Protein backbone atom coordinates (compact mmCIF):
# COMPACT_ATOMS: atom_id res chain seq x y z
CA UNK A 1 0.00 0.00 0.00
CA UNK A 2 1.28 3.48 -0.88
CA UNK A 3 0.87 6.39 1.51
CA UNK A 4 0.90 10.06 0.56
CA UNK A 5 1.01 13.24 2.59
CA UNK A 6 1.30 15.61 -0.34
CA UNK A 7 -1.23 16.39 -3.07
CA UNK A 8 1.36 16.56 -5.86
CA UNK A 9 2.76 13.07 -5.23
CA UNK A 10 -0.72 11.55 -4.94
CA UNK A 11 -1.77 13.20 -8.21
CA UNK A 12 1.31 11.86 -10.01
CA UNK A 13 0.60 8.33 -8.77
CA UNK A 14 -3.09 8.51 -9.72
CA UNK A 15 -2.27 9.90 -13.18
CA UNK A 16 -0.12 6.85 -13.90
CA UNK A 17 -2.89 4.53 -12.66
CA UNK A 18 -5.53 6.29 -14.73
CA UNK A 19 -3.29 6.14 -17.82
CA UNK A 20 -3.27 2.37 -17.31
CA UNK A 21 -7.08 2.49 -17.49
CA UNK A 22 -7.66 1.82 -13.78
CA UNK A 23 -10.86 3.02 -12.13
CA UNK A 24 -10.63 4.69 -8.72
CA UNK A 25 -12.98 4.32 -5.74
CA UNK A 26 -12.50 6.91 -3.01
CA UNK A 27 -13.35 6.40 0.67
CA UNK A 28 -12.94 9.61 2.71
CA UNK A 29 -12.49 8.97 6.45
CA UNK A 30 -11.29 10.72 9.58
CA UNK A 31 -9.38 7.62 10.71
CA UNK A 32 -9.93 5.64 13.93
CA UNK A 33 -10.96 2.97 11.47
CA UNK A 34 -13.45 0.25 12.38
CA UNK A 35 -15.47 -2.41 10.57
CA UNK A 36 -17.84 0.26 9.22
CA UNK A 37 -14.98 1.91 7.35
CA UNK A 38 -13.74 -1.50 6.22
CA UNK A 39 -17.13 -2.23 4.65
CA UNK A 40 -16.71 0.93 2.56
CA UNK A 41 -13.21 -0.20 1.51
CA UNK A 42 -14.60 -3.60 0.55
CA UNK A 43 -17.36 -2.08 -1.52
CA UNK A 44 -14.87 0.23 -3.28
CA UNK A 45 -12.63 -2.77 -4.03
CA UNK A 46 -15.58 -4.72 -5.45
CA UNK A 47 -16.62 -1.91 -7.81
CA UNK A 48 -13.29 -0.32 -8.79
CA UNK A 49 -9.76 -1.35 -9.75
CA UNK A 50 -8.23 0.77 -6.99
CA UNK A 51 -9.60 1.53 -3.53
CA UNK A 52 -8.11 4.81 -2.30
CA UNK A 53 -8.72 6.04 1.26
CA UNK A 54 -8.15 9.41 2.84
CA UNK A 55 -7.50 9.83 6.55
CA UNK A 56 -7.91 13.44 7.64
CA UNK A 57 -9.48 14.84 10.79
CA UNK A 58 -10.95 17.91 9.14
CA UNK A 59 -10.82 20.88 11.54
CA UNK A 60 -13.39 22.96 9.65
CA UNK A 61 -16.23 20.52 10.35
CA UNK A 62 -15.77 20.68 14.13
CA UNK A 63 -17.44 23.41 16.15
CA UNK A 64 -15.53 25.40 18.76
CA UNK A 65 -16.78 23.26 21.64
CA UNK A 66 -16.49 19.96 19.81
CA UNK A 67 -13.95 17.16 20.05
CA UNK A 68 -11.40 18.08 17.32
CA UNK A 69 -8.39 17.86 19.67
CA UNK A 70 -9.69 14.77 21.46
CA UNK A 71 -10.82 12.94 18.29
CA UNK A 72 -9.16 9.46 18.36
CA UNK A 73 -6.07 9.30 16.12
CA UNK A 74 -3.90 6.24 15.52
CA UNK A 75 -2.39 6.53 12.06
CA UNK A 76 -0.14 3.47 12.21
CA UNK A 77 -2.98 1.21 13.27
CA UNK A 78 -5.25 2.73 10.61
CA UNK A 79 -2.64 2.18 7.90
CA UNK A 80 -2.33 -1.46 8.97
CA UNK A 81 -6.10 -1.95 8.80
CA UNK A 82 -6.36 -0.21 5.42
CA UNK A 83 -3.52 -2.27 4.02
CA UNK A 84 -5.06 -5.52 5.31
CA UNK A 85 -8.35 -4.49 3.71
CA UNK A 86 -6.71 -4.16 0.30
CA UNK A 87 -6.65 -0.36 0.02
CA UNK A 88 -3.89 0.51 -2.50
CA UNK A 89 -3.24 4.12 -1.49
CA UNK A 90 -3.91 6.27 1.57
CA UNK A 91 -3.76 10.05 1.50
CA UNK A 92 -3.14 11.47 5.00
CA UNK A 93 -2.27 15.13 4.56
CA UNK A 94 -1.45 17.72 7.22
CA UNK A 95 -3.94 20.52 7.94
CA UNK A 96 -1.59 22.98 6.19
CA UNK A 97 -1.54 20.86 3.03
CA UNK A 98 -5.31 21.22 2.65
CA UNK A 99 -5.80 24.63 4.24
CA UNK A 100 -2.81 26.77 3.26
CA UNK A 101 -2.51 30.35 4.54
CA UNK A 102 -5.20 32.55 3.03
CA UNK A 103 -7.67 29.72 2.45
CA UNK A 104 -11.15 31.22 2.21
CA UNK A 105 -13.46 29.21 -0.05
CA UNK A 106 -16.47 27.46 1.44
CA UNK A 107 -19.21 25.38 -0.15
CA UNK A 108 -22.63 26.05 1.35
CA UNK A 109 -25.81 24.03 0.86
CA UNK A 110 -27.99 26.30 2.97
CA UNK A 111 -31.10 24.16 3.24
CA UNK A 112 -29.65 20.74 4.09
CA UNK A 113 -26.98 22.34 6.26
CA UNK A 114 -29.41 24.04 8.60
CA UNK A 115 -31.71 21.13 9.49
CA UNK A 116 -31.27 18.20 11.94
CA UNK A 117 -27.50 17.81 12.59
CA UNK A 118 -26.90 21.22 11.06
CA UNK A 119 -29.17 22.93 13.58
CA UNK A 120 -27.05 21.51 16.43
CA UNK A 121 -23.67 21.86 14.69
CA UNK A 122 -23.51 25.26 12.96
CA UNK A 123 -20.84 25.28 10.23
CA UNK A 124 -20.42 21.49 10.32
CA UNK A 125 -21.83 20.74 6.88
CA UNK A 126 -20.03 23.66 5.27
CA UNK A 127 -16.82 22.06 6.53
CA UNK A 128 -17.89 18.65 5.23
CA UNK A 129 -18.97 19.88 1.80
CA UNK A 130 -15.79 21.90 1.35
CA UNK A 131 -13.36 19.15 2.37
CA UNK A 132 -15.18 16.47 0.35
CA UNK A 133 -15.18 18.72 -2.70
CA UNK A 134 -11.45 19.28 -2.28
CA UNK A 135 -10.83 15.53 -1.93
CA UNK A 136 -12.91 14.89 -5.06
CA UNK A 137 -10.82 17.46 -6.96
CA UNK A 138 -7.55 16.00 -5.71
CA UNK A 139 -8.36 12.32 -6.29
CA UNK A 140 -10.86 12.63 -9.17
CA UNK A 141 -12.44 9.28 -8.35
CA UNK A 142 -14.92 7.41 -10.54
CA UNK A 143 -16.92 6.57 -7.44
CA UNK A 144 -16.94 7.76 -3.84
CA UNK A 145 -18.29 5.74 -0.91
CA UNK A 146 -20.21 7.13 2.06
CA UNK A 147 -21.94 5.40 4.95
CA UNK A 148 -25.69 5.62 5.52
CA UNK A 149 -24.77 5.96 9.20
CA UNK A 150 -24.21 9.66 8.39
CA UNK A 151 -27.39 9.87 6.33
CA UNK A 152 -27.61 13.66 6.21
CA UNK A 153 -23.95 13.90 5.17
CA UNK A 154 -24.60 11.39 2.38
CA UNK A 155 -27.63 13.41 1.22
CA UNK A 156 -25.61 16.62 1.29
CA UNK A 157 -22.83 15.11 -0.81
CA UNK A 158 -25.24 13.63 -3.34
CA UNK A 159 -26.87 17.04 -3.66
CA UNK A 160 -23.52 18.81 -4.08
CA UNK A 161 -22.39 16.31 -6.74
CA UNK A 162 -25.64 16.83 -8.63
CA UNK A 163 -25.75 20.61 -8.26
CA UNK A 164 -22.12 21.14 -9.27
CA UNK A 165 -22.10 18.48 -12.05
CA UNK A 166 -19.23 16.66 -10.40
CA UNK A 167 -18.22 13.74 -12.56
CA UNK A 168 -18.48 10.80 -10.19
CA UNK A 169 -20.96 8.38 -8.67
CA UNK A 170 -21.76 8.55 -4.97
CA UNK A 171 -22.36 5.10 -3.49
CA UNK A 172 -24.36 4.68 -0.24
CA UNK A 173 -23.15 1.86 2.02
CA UNK A 174 -25.40 0.36 4.74
CA UNK A 175 -24.59 0.92 8.42
CA UNK A 176 -22.46 -1.71 10.16
CA UNK A 177 -23.58 -2.48 13.70
CA UNK A 178 -22.21 -4.50 16.59
CA UNK A 179 -23.97 -7.60 17.92
CA UNK A 180 -26.24 -5.40 20.05
CA UNK A 181 -27.24 -3.23 17.13
CA UNK A 182 -25.07 -0.26 18.17
CA UNK A 183 -23.92 1.51 14.99
CA UNK A 184 -20.12 1.37 14.80
CA UNK A 185 -18.57 4.78 15.26
CA UNK A 186 -15.14 6.13 16.10
CA UNK A 187 -16.86 8.06 18.91
CA UNK A 188 -18.00 4.81 20.61
CA UNK A 189 -14.46 4.78 22.05
CA UNK A 190 -15.55 7.59 24.38
CA UNK A 191 -18.28 5.43 26.00
CA UNK A 192 -17.72 3.81 29.41
CA UNK A 193 -19.04 0.21 29.70
CA UNK A 194 -22.16 1.54 31.43
CA UNK A 195 -22.69 4.20 28.75
CA UNK A 196 -22.21 1.65 25.99
CA UNK A 197 -25.04 -0.41 27.46
CA UNK A 198 -27.17 2.73 27.64
CA UNK A 199 -26.38 3.45 23.96
CA UNK A 200 -28.21 0.29 22.89
CA UNK A 201 -31.39 2.34 23.38
CA UNK A 202 -30.79 3.99 19.98
CA UNK A 203 -31.14 0.75 18.06
CA UNK A 204 -33.98 -0.42 20.30
CA UNK A 205 -35.83 2.75 19.34
CA UNK A 206 -35.19 2.24 15.61
CA UNK A 207 -36.47 -1.34 15.93
CA UNK A 208 -39.55 -0.05 17.73
CA UNK A 209 -40.22 2.30 14.81
CA UNK A 210 -39.76 -0.52 12.33
CA UNK A 211 -42.18 -2.76 14.24
CA UNK A 212 -44.79 0.00 14.62
CA UNK A 213 -44.72 0.68 10.89
CA UNK A 214 -45.13 -3.02 10.10
CA UNK A 215 -48.00 -3.02 12.58
CA UNK A 216 -49.83 -0.36 10.58
CA UNK A 217 -49.00 2.89 12.42
CA UNK A 218 -49.75 5.80 10.11
CA UNK A 219 -49.66 8.80 12.42
CA UNK A 220 -46.22 10.32 12.86
CA UNK A 221 -47.09 12.20 16.08
CA UNK A 222 -48.18 8.94 17.74
CA UNK A 223 -45.08 7.10 16.59
CA UNK A 224 -42.78 9.96 17.63
CA UNK A 225 -44.31 10.02 21.11
CA UNK A 226 -43.63 6.33 21.59
CA UNK A 227 -40.06 6.65 20.26
CA UNK A 228 -39.34 9.58 22.56
CA UNK A 229 -40.69 7.51 25.45
CA UNK A 230 -38.30 4.67 24.58
CA UNK A 231 -35.24 6.96 24.61
CA UNK A 232 -36.44 8.71 27.78
CA UNK A 233 -36.67 5.31 29.51
CA UNK A 234 -32.85 5.26 29.47
CA UNK A 235 -31.65 7.60 32.25
CA UNK A 236 -28.25 8.29 30.63
CA UNK A 237 -29.76 9.27 27.26
CA UNK A 238 -30.67 12.85 26.31
CA UNK A 239 -32.30 13.53 22.93
CA UNK A 240 -30.93 16.33 20.73
CA UNK A 241 -33.43 15.51 18.00
CA UNK A 242 -35.58 12.56 16.99
CA UNK A 243 -37.57 12.98 13.80
CA UNK A 244 -39.52 11.18 11.10
CA UNK A 245 -38.53 12.68 7.77
CA UNK A 246 -38.78 12.20 4.04
CA UNK A 247 -35.67 10.21 3.00
CA UNK A 248 -34.96 12.51 0.07
CA UNK A 249 -35.72 16.01 1.37
CA UNK A 250 -35.14 15.30 5.08
CA UNK A 251 -38.25 17.40 5.82
CA UNK A 252 -40.60 16.14 8.56
CA UNK A 253 -43.52 13.94 7.48
CA UNK A 254 -46.90 14.02 9.17
CA UNK A 255 -48.40 10.79 7.85
CA UNK A 256 -46.62 7.52 7.30
CA UNK A 257 -48.79 6.11 4.55
CA UNK A 258 -47.47 4.31 1.51
CA UNK A 259 -43.91 5.49 1.50
CA UNK A 260 -40.54 4.98 3.13
CA UNK A 261 -39.81 7.20 6.12
CA UNK A 262 -36.43 7.92 7.66
CA UNK A 263 -36.19 7.78 11.45
CA UNK A 264 -33.25 9.97 12.35
CA UNK A 265 -31.83 10.89 15.73
CA UNK A 266 -28.99 12.38 17.70
CA UNK A 267 -28.79 11.30 21.32
CA UNK A 268 -26.24 12.25 23.95
CA UNK A 269 -25.07 9.47 26.22
CA UNK A 270 -23.14 11.26 28.94
CA UNK A 271 -20.74 13.55 27.06
CA UNK A 272 -20.82 11.46 23.87
CA UNK A 273 -23.14 12.45 21.07
CA UNK A 274 -24.33 9.55 18.92
CA UNK A 275 -26.32 9.67 15.69
CA UNK A 276 -28.28 6.88 14.06
CA UNK A 277 -31.08 6.40 11.55
CA UNK A 278 -33.14 3.80 9.78
CA UNK A 279 -35.43 3.62 6.79
CA UNK A 280 -38.83 2.19 7.72
CA UNK A 281 -41.91 1.38 5.65
CA UNK A 282 -45.38 -0.13 6.07
CA UNK A 283 -45.85 -3.90 5.69
CA UNK A 284 -45.46 -5.06 2.09
CA UNK A 285 -43.30 -2.08 1.08
CA UNK A 286 -39.55 -2.45 0.86
CA UNK A 287 -37.83 0.56 2.48
CA UNK A 288 -35.99 2.45 -0.25
CA UNK A 289 -34.24 5.83 -0.13
CA UNK A 290 -35.45 7.44 -3.38
CA UNK A 291 -34.96 7.12 -7.09
CA UNK A 292 -31.41 8.12 -7.92
CA UNK A 293 -31.12 11.39 -9.83
CA UNK A 294 -29.71 11.03 -13.33
CA UNK A 295 -26.35 12.77 -13.33
CA UNK A 296 -26.00 15.53 -15.89
CA UNK A 297 -22.27 15.83 -16.47
P1 LIG B 1 -15.78 9.10 9.56
O2 LIG B 1 -14.37 8.56 9.66
O3 LIG B 1 -16.56 8.99 10.81
O4 LIG B 1 -15.81 10.47 8.92
O5 LIG B 1 -16.52 8.14 8.53
C6 LIG B 1 -16.03 7.93 7.24
C7 LIG B 1 -17.06 7.22 6.44
O8 LIG B 1 -17.39 5.98 7.05
C9 LIG B 1 -18.37 8.01 6.33
O10 LIG B 1 -18.87 7.89 5.01
C11 LIG B 1 -19.26 7.32 7.32
O12 LIG B 1 -20.63 7.44 7.04
C13 LIG B 1 -18.80 5.88 7.19
N14 LIG B 1 -19.16 5.12 8.38
C15 LIG B 1 -18.94 5.47 9.67
N16 LIG B 1 -19.47 4.55 10.51
C17 LIG B 1 -20.03 3.61 9.72
C18 LIG B 1 -20.76 2.40 9.97
N19 LIG B 1 -21.01 1.98 11.21
N20 LIG B 1 -21.20 1.68 8.91
C21 LIG B 1 -20.96 2.10 7.63
N22 LIG B 1 -20.28 3.22 7.34
C23 LIG B 1 -19.83 3.97 8.36
37 lines ligand 1 (CB under 6 A): yes
**Which segments of the chain have a pLDDT < 50?**
296-297
User: Whole-structure pTM over 0.95, yes or no?
Assistant: yes
Pure H helices in the chain: 7-19, 35-47, 75-84, 95-98, 110-114, 117-120, 124-139, 151-163, 193-214, 220-232
Distance 12 CA to ligand 1 centre (A): 28
36 lines ligand 1 (CB under 6 A): yes
Q: How many residues does the chain have?
A: 297
Distance 27 CA to ligand 1 centre (A): 9
Instruction: For residue range 58-105, list pLDDT tens digits in order.
Output: 999 999 999 999 999 999 999 999 999 999 999 999 999 999 999 999
Question: 64-103 as b/e, with b when 16 or more CB fall inside 10 Å?
Answer: eeeeeeebbeeeeebbebbeebebbbbbbbeeebbbeeee
Strand, helix or coil for residue 138: helix
186 lines ligand 1 (CB under 6 A): yes
State the pLDDT at residue 292: 74
State the pLDDT at residue 295: 55
Query: In what side-by-side order are the strands of the sheet with 237-245?
Result: 237-245, 261-269, 272-280
State the pLDDT at residue 258: 83
Amino acid sequence: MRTFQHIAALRTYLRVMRDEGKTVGLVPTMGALHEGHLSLFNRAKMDCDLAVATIFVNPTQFGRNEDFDAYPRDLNHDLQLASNAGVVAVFHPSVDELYPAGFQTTIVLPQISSMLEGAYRPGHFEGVATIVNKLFNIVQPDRAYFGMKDYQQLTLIERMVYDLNLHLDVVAVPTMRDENGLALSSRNKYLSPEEKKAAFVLNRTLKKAEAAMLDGETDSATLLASLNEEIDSEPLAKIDYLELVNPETLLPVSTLSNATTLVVMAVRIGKTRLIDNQLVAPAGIKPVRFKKRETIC
